[in-house]
Amino acid sequence: MRHYAPDDDGAAAVAKEGDLVIVHERYTALTTLTLQRDAFLNNRYGRFSHNHLIGKPLGRRWHAVSTAASGSRSCAGFVHALAPTPELMSYAMLHRTQIVYPHDSAIIAALLELRPGSVVVECGTGSGSASMAFARAVAPTGRVLTFEYHHVRAKAARQLFQSLQLSHVLSVSAGVDVLKDGFVGVQDASADAVFLDVPAPYEMGHQLRRVLRPNGTVCTFSPCVEQVGRTCAMLRKMRFHSLRTITAPLRTYETREQLLHTPAFDQLSSHLSTAAAASSSSTRSRPPSIGERVAKRRRTAVAAPVTNPTPAARKSTTAGAERMAVSALAHGQHVGRVLRPKVRLHSKPFCTMKGHTSYLTFARRPRDDAQREEQAPHSQGQVPSVPQHNCTLS
């Protein structure tokens, strides 16, 4: 995703041969595509030439081409070619496992306090959805070390990261059972954050204590409350602090605008006059209504000849009243002011929700025993030494 960043002048990135792009057909249909010279994409909207997209800015319409012998373009079908982002890729990629959806990835990256230069250890690569979100947060100088036990999934994830040019940030370790072997190749106290998406995170307390830096953060992704309880018990036993568990279900709504048309004043007058004329036969004895008086005044104005007003009369009337009077004389109707249309919003939730039940548990690694010993003289009236590292307050 590094090569899809906008240019310095704010212009959209230009698609090149070999780039991975996202084809947006409609709201629920997104697919990935690798651009190749003289290749075509065929779908329900037509036949799309890769040559027409190569060298063009992304984020615009990609029109289908006609299959006629003349080779003329057809504007009937089109899709949108978009630059890949972790959010779009989570919906467009092939889901080899249950993925971490964007709303969960955003919360995890924020509460793990990921920033450029951070080192993240991830257990359970899966489809790579969370890995891409972490890579974007720590790039360009940070690292994401991800472990996947399944060789096929690890190979597919590695190819995906290479196509997105994320190999300088992401490294995949395949065939490692972290529950038994631990974080192979990760040095002690070298990780700023750890994300665990494994069946038994409560069995990795000693490994978390080993690889995390002092005051480092850990997040576990659990599908049930029972696993959360066992994980929290393990974290307390290992003297982790600032424990909290959250869940973030996402409910999307369909919102539509309903335009409430407001009739003009002349339409209201005509409706009133029509209603008054219809009921005049039964209500001769009552005084004339407003609609009848307006209709009578209009008939009198139409019968009068059209004359140019004198300068004195023109000064006594406003410009708006003069235009309304001339319009009424010329067309036989009163053109009144139209009220501002009102818009009403209608929202209803979708019957299905994208995502799955998940509980996110966060905690912080305690400070080392050596650092606690540095503070021991403080209780004896001595000034403690200042630690050399920077601690982040929770």
197 labelled as ligand-binding? Answer: yes
Of 131, 135, 138, nearest to 117 by C-alpha is 138
Of 315, 311, 335, 308, nearest to 324 by C-alpha is 335
d(CA 359, CA 130): 15
17 labelled as ligand-binding? Answer: no
Pick left, alpha or beta for residue 221 (phi over 0 → left; psi -120 to 50 → alpha; otherwise beta).
beta
d(CA 153, CA 292): 81
177 labelled as ligand-binding? Answer: yes
- The residue ranges of DSSP E strands in the chain, in sequence order, are 20-26, 29-34, 40-43, 46-49, 61-65, 73-82, 119-123, 143-148, 170-174, 191-196, 212-222, 241-246, 253-260, 342-349, 359-364
Q: Is the distance from CB of 289 to CB of 262 less than 8 angstroms? A: no
Q: Looking at this protein, which amino acid is placed at residue 4?
A: Y
Q: Is the distance from CB of 253 to CB of 350 less than 8 angstroms? A: yes
What number of helices (H) and strands (E) belong to the chain?
A: 12, 15
Residues making up the annotated binding site are 148, 177, 197
Residues making up the annotated binding site for S-adenosyl-L-methionine are 148, 177, 197
